Amino acid sequence: MTPAIPALSVIVPAHNPEPGRLRQTLEALRAQTADPATWECIVVDNASTRFPQLGEWASSVPENLRIVPEPSLGLTSARIAGFQAARGAIAVLVDDDNVLAPDYLAQVAAIFDAHPRVGAIGGKVLPQFEAPPPPWAGEFLPLLALRDLGGQVMVSTGLHHDGNPPNLYPAFAPLGAGMSLRRAAFQAWLDARAGKVPVLSDRRGAELTSAGDNDIIFCAMRAGWEVGYFPQLVLTHLIPAARLEAGYLARLNRGIQKSWMQVLMLHDGCPWPPMTRTGAELRKLKAWFMYGAWKSTPARIRWQGACGHYEGRVAPDSGGRG
């Protein structure tokens, strides 16, 4: 008998995952209230040099799990491999440190049934800290893919159905953690990137850039889909203590701001003009003094974000002053 095609495909990209956190991720998937026959779990082993032996975790691994290898390092490559392996009409992106609420997949299916014009959705991403955040870190916690926008559903207005560049990016657009997409929406992204040299830098090993989530949303909106925030979707993001260190947050802020400028420029949505490399270096020097980067840890992290902003606006192969 031919196995039934699942309605949902859960895609878990993993590069050298921390065994304890990955185990919690898989345990939460195993505990989903949705019938296992209606969904599949695809773990993408993304060029790992160490990967947990999932066979030793029989009590934790979902019965519908399969592992797909992807030797090309990078989150974009891992997601492409996951999308291409997916059989479901809906894809759910889950990081290897995300713990879904038990009804997450059931809620995803119900939301898409109720909102036929919505192509990408997300919800609340709540933290579970390994160690308490330092007092100065509050303003930087959103950098860690955390979000709670309250209890109201928010859906984009559909202003971008004319095929023009969607210059207005909704502030409530889904984050990568828990982002769920219709097949047509993620296919729009695959088609846009097919056969092209990557122009955006996403997570790749120790790199902390993160333009991929935004690029997926832009492509879905360009294809005519609405996107939405649905508070009934809840997941917990496991935050190790190392991600609250000042150095990590500084690098993260720089990488995020750089890649955000890059994705805005790619989609003709950047309100600031391109810069030359020399111009960006001069602006970074000026920002050092404007932010008083030597005065405090938060000031230095803010300055790193400004550096990323200017670096992201540098036009390819640019030089000279500007």
Secondary structure of the chain in the HEC alphabet? CCCCCCCEEEEEEECCCCHHHHHHHHHHHHCCCCCHHHEEEEEEEECCCCCCCHHHHCCCCCCCEEEEEECCCCHHHHHHHHHHHCCCCEEEECCCCEEECCCHHHHHHHHHHHCCCEEEEEEEEEEEECCCCCHHHHHHHHHHCCECCCCCCEECCCCCCCCCCCCCCCCCCCCCCCCEEEHHHHHHHHHHHCCCCCCCCCCCCCCCCCCHHHHHHHHHHHCCCEEEEEEEEEEEEEECHHHHCHHHHHHHHHHHHHHHHHHHHHCCCCCCCCECHHHHHHHHHHHHHHCCCCCCHHHHHHHHHHHHHHHHCECCCCCCCC
Indicate if 98 and 38 belong to the same structural domain.
yes
pTM of the model: 0.92
Indicate if 202 and 68 belong to the same structural domain.
yes
Of 194, 222, 245, which one is at a domain's C-terminal end?
Answer: 245
Q: Half-sphere exposure (CA, 13 Å, Cβ side) for 255?
A: 19
- Residue 3 within any structural domain of the chain: no
**Does residue 251 contact residue 126 with C-beta atoms inside 8 Å?**
no
Indicate if 219 and 283 belong to the same structural domain.
no
Indicate if 122 and 232 belong to the same structural domain.
yes
- Residue 2 within any structural domain of the chain: no
- Residue 17 within any structural domain of the chain: yes
Residues of the chain above pLDDT 70, percent: 88
Q: Per-residue b/e over 251-271, b at no fewer than 16 CB within 10 Å? A: bbbbbbbbbbbbbbbbbeebe
- Residue 53 within any structural domain of the chain: yes
Give the mean model confidence (pLDDT) for residues 122-140. 96
Of 245, 261, 287, which one is at a domain's C-terminal end?
Answer: 245
Does position 198 have pLDDT exceeding 90, yes or no? no
pLDDT tens for 259-316 read 999 999 888 888 899 999 999 999 999 999 999 999 999 999 999 999 999 999 998 7
Label residue 207 by pLDDT band (50, 70, 90).
low
Indicate if 305 and 197 belong to the same structural domain.
no
- State both tokens at 143: 């950098």
Give the mean model confidence (pLDDT) for residues 204-221. 82
User: What is the span of the domain harbouring residue 19?
Assistant: 8-245
- Residue 320 within any structural domain of the chain: no
CA distance 166 to 172: 15
CATH number at residue 232: 3.90.550.10
Indicate if 106 and 214 belong to the same structural domain.
yes
Indicate if 254 and 145 belong to the same structural domain.
no
Indicate if 238 and 258 belong to the same structural domain.
no
Q: Which residue type sits at 262?
A: Q
pLDDT top residue among 63 and 217: 217
Cα–Cα–Cα angle for 205, 129, 104, rounded to 5 degrees: 80
- Residue 319 within any structural domain of the chain: no
Indicate if 295 and 158 belong to the same structural domain.
no
Indicate if 117 and 218 belong to the same structural domain.
yes
Of 245, 274, 303, which one is at a domain's C-terminal end?
Answer: 245
Indicate if 48 and 132 belong to the same structural domain.
yes
- Residue 317 within any structural domain of the chain: no
- Residue 267 within any structural domain of the chain: yes
**CA terminus-to-terminus distance, the chain:** 66
Residues of the chain above pLDDT 90, percent: 73
- The residues, any chain, with a CB within 8 Å of residue 289's CB and separated by 6 or more, are none
Indicate if 120 and 17 belong to the same structural domain.
yes
Task: Map tokens 């709540």 to a residue.
Answer: 126
Domain count, the chain: 2
Pairing assessment for the beta strands 180-182 and 118-129 based on DSSP bridges: antiparallel
